[in-house]
Structure 1
Amino acid sequence: MRNFKKALFAPLLLAGFVSMAQRPAAQELKNPIVEAIVKEANDNSQLEKLAHELMDGIGPRLVGTPEMQQAGVWALGKYKDWGIAARNEKWGEWKGWQRGVSHIDMTYPRAKSLEGMQLAWSPGTNGKTVNAEVIVLPYMEDSIAFAKWLPAAKGKIVLTSMNQPTGRPDYNWEEFGTKESVEKMKKDRDMLTAAWAKRISNTGYNSRTLPAALEKAGAVAVVTSNWSRGFGVNKIFGAYTKNIPSVDIALEDYGLLYRLAEAGGKPRMSLKIDSKNLPPADAFNIVAEMKGTEKPNEYVMLSAHFDSWDGGTGATDNGTGTIVMMEAMRILKKVYPNPKRTI
């Protein structure tokens, strides 16, 4: 009988646990505020509209540009429309600059429009068209030999990036190539990358200081190709020259120029870059605030960096983060306008 009681007690105990575990789910009370937030986000999302206005309409938000200033005014206007207190907090200044139209062409040994764009904050050509021979940064044994070569850069357009052995991303090689061909490509690329790094270091400069040295020596432009290892995509960052244009050329067109120059073909390029320097511009943060009603000195913070590089629209870095944060504030103001803590 004692064993029977034990055997009977175990299933009853298990059934009790199951019943207790199931009861909260069945009796769970839905939070009406959370439900309202989810409903507003699903049924009345403003994300697409915000994305269109910011990324399509205003575009990239490079610090120091009129577009960055315009984006700040836009954000303040949105918060005002939503009834949220917001302010522009200045924290310094940055060099003013505005991108213009670029014409980048190969003029010899044949005419070909090239896929490329000026780097951020690059000087322009002052309304003129620069036409010059293209040369590749040479390999020198050391900085002394490079210093002796530098005068040869005068009047030239200098290529300062390695010529990529392939324009296909690794995943594409791995999908369609044999194991042996993929391994050989990667080995060859690693060797070329190491050799180019040595070519740069032997000059006595690095990728940041070399353009200024070429500029001082009289080069008329510096050309790079900062490939992202994706199909047809380069990274567009900042220029390190102060008076001559810095231009990035897409992988295939860069390879063409490089091969022609290396073979002694003396290719020529023409550049007309209409960017212009502007007076120093305010650097700032946009701060919006919903004051807490019970614990105003305790904070819940949402943040996203507002600025971007200007090679694209600045969508993924970080326009999407910006509009999601703003949309969250809009929804909270509509559904939960009097939070306990300051948001």
Structure 2
Amino acid sequence: MSQTFRIPLLVAALLSFSLLTTAQHSDAVDTAIVSKFRKEGFKNSQVMDILSMLTDMNGPRLTNSPGYKKAATYAKSTLEGWGVSRVYFDSFGEFGRGWFVKKFSLQAMEPAYFPVIGYPKAWSPGIKGTRAAEAVYLDVKTEEDLEKYKGKLKGKIVLFSLPIMPKPAFKPDATRLTDSTLLRMANAAASNRAPGSSRRYIAGPPEMLTYKKWRLCESEGALAVIEGSRGSYGTYYAQGATIPTDPATPAAQRFRPQAANAPEILPQLVVAAEHYNRMVRQLEKGLLVKLELTMETEFTKPEDGFNVIGEIEGSDKKDEVVMIGAHLDSWHSGTGTTDNGVGVAICMEAMRILTASGVQPSRSIRIGLWGGEEQGLFGSTGYVKKHLGERAADSVKLTTEGKKFSVYFNTDNGSGKWRGINMQGNENVRSMFREWLRPFEKDGSATLTLNNTGSTDHVPFDAIGLPGFQFITDPIEYFTRSWHSSMDMYERAVEADLKHNAVMLATFAWGAANREALVSRK
């Protein structure tokens, strides 16, 4: 190469380096500010008290239930007490009925007494009073098997599902992400799932056969239907009630159990696998199994769902918004601690840290506590459509507010320590996030991955091209023990990790609120 070309290339390289270092410098974290956040977040933390109020005192928080409304009122008044401005309930549109359990017990009276571990499915009707009834195991593997139960189910409690046999656990329930896993994530190209986050499901009978089993129970006049739960050690997973639906019915025409016009269904409950299987074995040996069931549930009137919104008003760029959020709703058999009381507590604590530290962000920092996430991201989706924009065919139409929106940070993967952040396929944010992670490198939080994550509330933001991110979280015992389970209780939370996460979230929100430009789109 001739000398005449070396000088311009050298100048270009130096200019490129200068621009890179300038960009990095503009995103560099003010260490004095981070020190303030650390002091406030570790010395004066309120994250566990917030979590206890959400879970022990108000949970569970099924959307539109009394528990959800009490928790939302607590969150609103608490944020206002810290000086967060314009805290309000923001409707996300039609949701349906609320529901809660007033009284429940299930006992096996014969052939040997034992209290049965289980719970009603959400939006299931109850029964009047306490009823004693025989149990029948619906041992149906083919449509021909249905015939032998005709005339035998009236007034009976039907054991509906095939047994699920828990296996001895030879691996620990609780784990942290290993260095090798984090390295694989850092080296990965964009993908839809992070390593180590797979969920296991057990295949059931064909959909048409299941539908016909439900119709048989209804037409024969069964008293209630019991399903065996996945899980072990007495843990069970009670989610939404089943609306028996012909498999040929288009998805858009299927009823949701919370819908005001949902058809009448049988009382439904789930039982821990060990107790369910015991009853099945007794019946298979020809013994009489008699159960005593008390199951009082109550529906609330159909109404719109709502989110809790509040913000710390910015200064010179107050019309531009940085947002943090988590879903406030939960399933109902536990108290919704790791899914997602911890996420709400982290977000609220981050807002408290920001206000208590006396800092003034350039952009406004907004919090969103979402409803209806468990039934399909209703709260965050409704908020995005109402305030920020929507996708139509292959184009996106942003509102005026959407055009000034910078970034959304979501938390919804359990109580573990954040080890970095998923960049959601957005290479443009790498250098920015690298700067914001520097104060947390010694804490083991330094991983950047192009991985996408789904199934939670950053997705509606990402879907219209607005930056939305989810943090890489140590699994602890999320999928093995607590996710959607009866054991999703306060004891599952890891205090040190929640403190760390709240400080980290405050730092990311502060960095985004004070950088020169809005966070880069994909």
When the two structures are superposed, what TM-score results if normalisation uses the length of structure 2?
Answer: 0.51
Give the direction of change, closer, same or farther, for the CA distance of 1:167–1:247 in structure 2 (3 Å limit): farther
Separation in structure 1 between the aligned mates of residue 29 and residue 235 of structure 2, nearest angstrom: 50
Separation in structure 1 between the aligned mates of residue 96 and residue 170 of structure 2, nearest angstrom: 38
Q: Does 1:314 align with 2:336?
A: yes
- The correspondence of residues 251-262 of structure 1 with structure 2, limited to 5 A, is 251-262=273-284
The AA in structure 2 aligned to 1:76 is K
Deviation of 1:217 (Å) = 3.0
The AA in structure 2 aligned to 1:164 is I
Bigger radius of gyration = 1
The AA in structure 2 aligned to 1:227 is R
Match of 1:25 in 2: none
Contact 2:139 2:145 in 1 (8 A): no
Match of 2:406 in 1: none
Match of 1:130 in 2: 131
RMSD, matched Cα: 2.5
Separation in structure 2 between the aligned mates of residue 225 and residue 148 of structure 1, nearest angstrom: 22
Separation in structure 1 between the aligned mates of residue 139 and residue 155 of structure 2, nearest angstrom: 16
Match of 2:267 in 1: 245
Match of 1:218 in 2: 221
Contact 2:61 2:332 in 1 (8 A): yes
Separation in structure 1 between the aligned mates of residue 90 and residue 219 of structure 2, nearest angstrom: 38
Deviation of 1:259 (Å) = 0.6
Which SS does the other structure have where 1:100 is aligned? strand
Q: Does 1:141 align with 2:163?
A: no
Match of 1:75 in 2: 75
If asked which structure has higher relative contact order (CA below 8 Å, sep 6+), I would say 1
Deviation of 1:161 (Å) = 2.4
The AA in structure 2 aligned to 1:39 is K
Deviation of 1:212 (Å) = 5.7
Q: Does 1:205 align with 2:205?
A: no
Deviation of 1:73 (Å) = 0.6
Separation in structure 2 between the aligned mates of residue 170 and residue 234 of structure 1, nearest angstrom: 20
Deviation of 1:167 (Å) = 5.0
Give the direction of change, closer, same or farther, for the CA distance of 1:210–1:327 in structure 2 (3 Å limit): farther
Separation in structure 2 between the aligned mates of residue 309 and residue 44 of structure 1, nearest angstrom: 31
Separation in structure 2 between the aligned mates of residue 98 and residue 84 of structure 1, nearest angstrom: 31
Contact 1:151 1:218 in 2 (8 A): no
Match of 1:53 in 2: 53
2:233 to 212, 227, 231: 231
Contact 2:228 2:277 in 1 (8 A): no
Match of 1:24 in 2: none
Match of 2:90 in 1: 89
Match of 1:152 in 2: 152
Contact 1:167 1:231 in 2 (8 A): no
Contact 1:300 1:342 in 2 (8 A): yes
Contact 1:106 1:267 in 2 (8 A): yes
Deviation of 1:321 (Å) = 0.5
Deviation of 1:147 (Å) = 6.4
Give aligned-pair identity as a percent. Answer: 31
Separation in structure 2 between the aligned mates of residue 29 and residue 252 of structure 1, nearest angstrom: 52
Gaps of 5+ in 2: 1-27, 173-201, 244-263, 366-522
Give the direction of change, closer, same or farther, for the CA distance of 1:327–1:341 in structure 2 (3 Å limit): same
Which SS does the other structure have where 1:303 is aligned? strand
Gaps of 5+ in 1: 1-27, 173-192
Contact 2:124 2:241 in 1 (8 A): yes
Q: Write out per-residue CA displacement over residues 3-27 of structure 1, whole angstroms, 9 at most, x where no aligned residue.
A: xxxxxxxxxxxxxxxxxxxxxxxxx
Separation in structure 1 between the aligned mates of residue 208 and residue 150 of structure 2, nearest angstrom: 10
The AA in structure 2 aligned to 1:237 is Q
Separation in structure 1 between the aligned mates of residue 145 and residue 29 of structure 2, nearest angstrom: 78
Match of 1:185 in 2: none
Separation in structure 2 between the aligned mates of residue 53 and residue 203 of structure 1, nearest angstrom: 44
The AA in structure 1 aligned to 2:133 is A
Match of 1:183 in 2: none
Deviation of 1:235 (Å) = 1.1
Separation in structure 1 between the aligned mates of residue 88 and residue 29 of structure 2, nearest angstrom: 39
- How many residue pairs get aligned? The number is 287
Separation in structure 2 between the aligned mates of residue 245 and residue 202 of structure 1, nearest angstrom: 20
Separation in structure 1 between the aligned mates of residue 37 and residue 91 of structure 2, nearest angstrom: 33
- The correspondence of residues 253-332 of structure 1 with structure 2, limited to 5 A, is 253-332=275-354
Deviation of 1:169 (Å) = 2.8
Deviation of 1:134 (Å) = 1.0
Deviation of 1:202 (Å) = 7.8
